[in-house]
Structure 1
Amino acid sequence: MSMKDSKPNLSNFQITGIVERLFGFTPSSIRPLPSYDDQNFIVTTLEGKEYVLKKRGLPVQTVLPTLTGQLMSLEEIDCGFGVKSYMVRLMTYLPGTVLGKMTCTPQILYETGKIAATVDNVLLQMEHPCLESLQRKNFIWSLASVPLLKQYLPVIDGDPMQQIVKGVIEQYQIQVEPKLSSFRKCINHGDFNDHNILVESDDSSNYKIAGILDFGDMSSGYFIFELAITLTYMMIENSSPLDVGGPVIAGWESVIPLNEAEKDALYVLVLSRLCQSLVLGRHAVLQQPENEEYLMLTAKTGVRILFLLWQKGKEEVMRIWLQSAAEYAENYQGAGTKK
């Protein structure tokens, strides 16, 4: 089955029926949200209810049970290409503005690095009888699966980017894979990007993290994976991508200081995440051409950043990032993040 056939395409009429039958209330409005390979909506009740829940100090959504007490319901739905099975769930709504629509100051980048580390620290404490399912062997979006990109290289045949992607995969196998045992294990959120982070203004002129979205890419991994993913996506929308590393790393290390093996792998891991996003995004567009605008968000500037980091090289990039991180750590930790 292609991704095009598997991605749901429910009408508002179908959504209304599902919400009424499973959750017992009638939507007053239904608004679509962008998504990669599922279908998401904001559903407002006739009473105008919205919910916000904080777990262990983190502003996250929670799943609302169905009328029969289930957290998910497997539904047989015809979206226009035959009846297929789809998992349906309803979650509380978190207000705020996605970080991707903001101009990211060093202060909010520092807070983003800090909250990313905090999330992984909290997930490390998670207990569940099905926790082993997060091993997700060969999960293509895990940074443990970078070599699997080789099978997708034909989608960038003829593109100058292909040689860099091949080089990054090679460097991953030489510099990262042998050192995995030196990285500290955790459970990764896995998709800490600027469209999964909500912000709102605080009492001063700064912004604070107001919500963390989309835990669908959670998997067993390493702390350094999460930092690399966060740093990668924070660079995408920034006009000075090399300047992002300092505050993000400083924020991260205010919670989880890096060991030497993790520092040494960071550059290649950031390049690896860029390659995953660019190559898999190109592949997804072939399957879902109608969703090209959303799928290619990273590609708009991602290719330029990939070339920039590759050309500057590991030594220069890490020098910039770590020197800047030390400066931000002194400024923010010494005077608080309101500075």
Structure 2
Amino acid sequence: MSPSGDSGSATLQPGQRIKPNVSLSTAQKLIEEHYGLQIESIKELNSYDDNNFYVKAKDSDENTQKYTFKVLNSMDSKKTGHIEAEHVAMFLLHGKCIRCPIPMKNVKGETFALVNIKNEATDVDNNESIPTESSHIIRLLTFVEGQIMYEAPPTPKLLAKAGKYIAEIEAILKEVACAALDNHSSVWMLSHVLDLEKFIYVIKDQPERFNLVTSVLEAYKNRVVPILPQLEQGVLHGDFNEQNIIIQPSTTEPGEYDVHGLIDFGDLQAGAYIFELAITTCYMMLECVKEGVTLDSFEGAQNVLKGYSTVRNIPDKELKVLRILVASRLCQSLVLGAYTYSLDPGNEYLLTTAKTGWALLDRVWNEKSDEEMMACWKAAVSQ
């Protein structure tokens, strides 16, 4: 499909409803119609703004294959240039023996299609059903076998492997050149963290949390924005978290895991490399505060940096703002999670970060002085 009319610069606005509401039966019909597959089973997967489904279907040789069927939200469905950029990145990585999904061609020989879907949205204020119809991009991607990182305990070695892996991905993605990425914007990008000011009203009745987020945003405004032009830029995966990292048991280290692949390229973007490291560090620190985990979050972060720095040198000017960027990502996850939950009550997946994230944000932001934080980072990259 052509990227003509691409709306890459559009970002989410308060009150805007973009998530599709596709039933299992509708998803099955779309797959059968557009891909000509015989469905054996289908189930819905967790998702923020899209509808994702795990599919087993028979191919033309009667062999059972596994796929992920994705129905993109109405806003991102207008960004066809970004979809094409995602596919370029997937095929590039796949060609470099990186395990990641790749798009399947539909019956028309295309890797995605734009379809009109009837939704049953609910007006939260009046609790009324609102029939709507909107256009959504649909895609069928190959399924990447393995466990997601969330299912395994974080260890120093695994976190170091994750840091090294994402740095290696960044190095490969240097080969991707796409104008759609330069024009792409999203409220989830760290370059757009100040957009949270539009959504922070959802926690205004929680003054401690409101003030904490406000403090982080002020620091971003005063200390990150002025140096943005100086930061090394590249193509980023944009959401390297425990749900998107595929692992498998190590064949050489009993009890350990290796990073096996990655999924979900929906946040692919052009941006500062330190943004990718901050996102990775944020989610790996959250892994360390899961129930039953004894690894300290700051030690976990150090291991991420240790692995990352074996591939890419991290300049001091990036380390100086890393704490602000980690805190900024936590703020994005917490505030946007609360906002989206207000539109989709009952979707507990949206509150995953909130269970431990607020306490971690307070600790990241307040426990160490700037000097102590810098010493923590420097100790990691000098190992």
**Which residue of the other structure, out of 108, 117, 133, is the alignment partner of 1:77?**
117
Q: Which residue of 2 aligns with 1:326?
A: 382
Distance 2:306 2:330 in 1: 21
Corresponding residue SS for 1:49: strand
Cα distance, 1:12 vs structure 2: 2.2
Distance 1:254 1:56 in 2: 20
1:108-127 alignment runs, 5 A limit: 108-127=158-177
1:167-182 alignment runs, 5 A limit: 167-182=215-230
Distance 2:170 2:37 in 1: 35
**1:104-155 deviation line (CA, Å, top 9, x unaligned):** 111110110011111122122114xxx2221346521111112221122211
**Which residue of the other structure, out of 233, 240, 262, is the alignment partner of 1:185?**
233
Q: 1:82 to 1:138 in 2, by over 3 A?
A: closer
- Code of the residue aligned with 2:365 in structure 1: it is W
State the TM-score, normalized to the length of structure 2.
0.80
RMSD value over aligned CA atoms? 2.0
**Which residue of the other structure, out of 76, 86, 90, is the alignment partner of 2:140?**
90
Q: Which residue of 2 aligns with 1:265?
A: 321
Report which stretch shifted further, 176-185 or 10-19. Answer: 10-19
Cα distance, 1:171 vs structure 2: 0.9
Distance 1:219 1:253 in 2: 21
**Which residue of the other structure, out of 322, 328, 342, is the alignment partner of 1:286?**
342
May I ask how many residue pairs the two structures share in their alignment? 323
Residue identity (%) = 32
- Code of the residue aligned with 2:97 in structure 1: it is G
C-alpha contact 1:111 1:209 (8 A) present in aligned 2: yes
Instruction: Tell me if 1:57 matches 2:97.
Output: yes
**1:261-306 deviation line (CA, Å, top 9, x unaligned):** 1111111111111111111111111111131x11111111110011
C-alpha contact 1:27 1:44 (8 A) present in aligned 2: yes
- Code of the residue aligned with 1:307 in structure 2: it is D
Q: 1:152 to 1:207 in 2, by over 3 A?
A: same
**Which residue of the other structure, out of 53, 56, 60, is the alignment partner of 1:44?**
56
Distance 2:169 2:56 in 1: 28
Instruction: Tell me if 1:317 matches 2:357.
Output: no
**Which residue of the other structure, out of 287, 301, 306, is the alignment partner of 2:356?**
301
**1:153-196 deviation line (CA, Å, top 9, x unaligned):** 21111321111111111111111111112211101111111000
Q: 1:6 to 1:173 in 2, by over 3 A?
A: closer
Distance 1:89 1:137 in 2: 20
Higher helix share: 1
Q: 1:3 to 1:16 in 2, by over 3 A?
A: farther
Q: 1:6 to 1:140 in 2, by over 3 A?
A: closer
Runs of 4+ that moved beyond 6 A: 1-4
- Code of the residue aligned with 1:140 in structure 2: it is V
**Which residue of the other structure, out of 192, 212, 227, is the alignment partner of 1:164?**
212
**Which residue of the other structure, out of 209, 212, 220, is the alignment partner of 2:262?**
212
- Code of the residue aligned with 2:193 in structure 1: it is V
**1:191-222 deviation line (CA, Å, top 9, x unaligned):** 11100001001213121112201110111101
Distance 1:78 1:2 in 2: 22
In the alignment, structure 2 segments of 5+ residues that lack a partner are: 1-12, 68-89, 121-130, 290-295
C-alpha contact 2:167 2:308 (8 A) present in aligned 1: yes
Q: Which residue of 1 aligns with 2:84?
A: none
Corresponding residue SS for 1:163: helix
Q: Which residue of 2 aligns with 1:332?
A: none
Instruction: Tell me if 1:248 matches 2:304.
Output: yes
State the TM-score, normalized to the length of structure 1.
0.90
Distance 1:280 1:161 in 2: 14
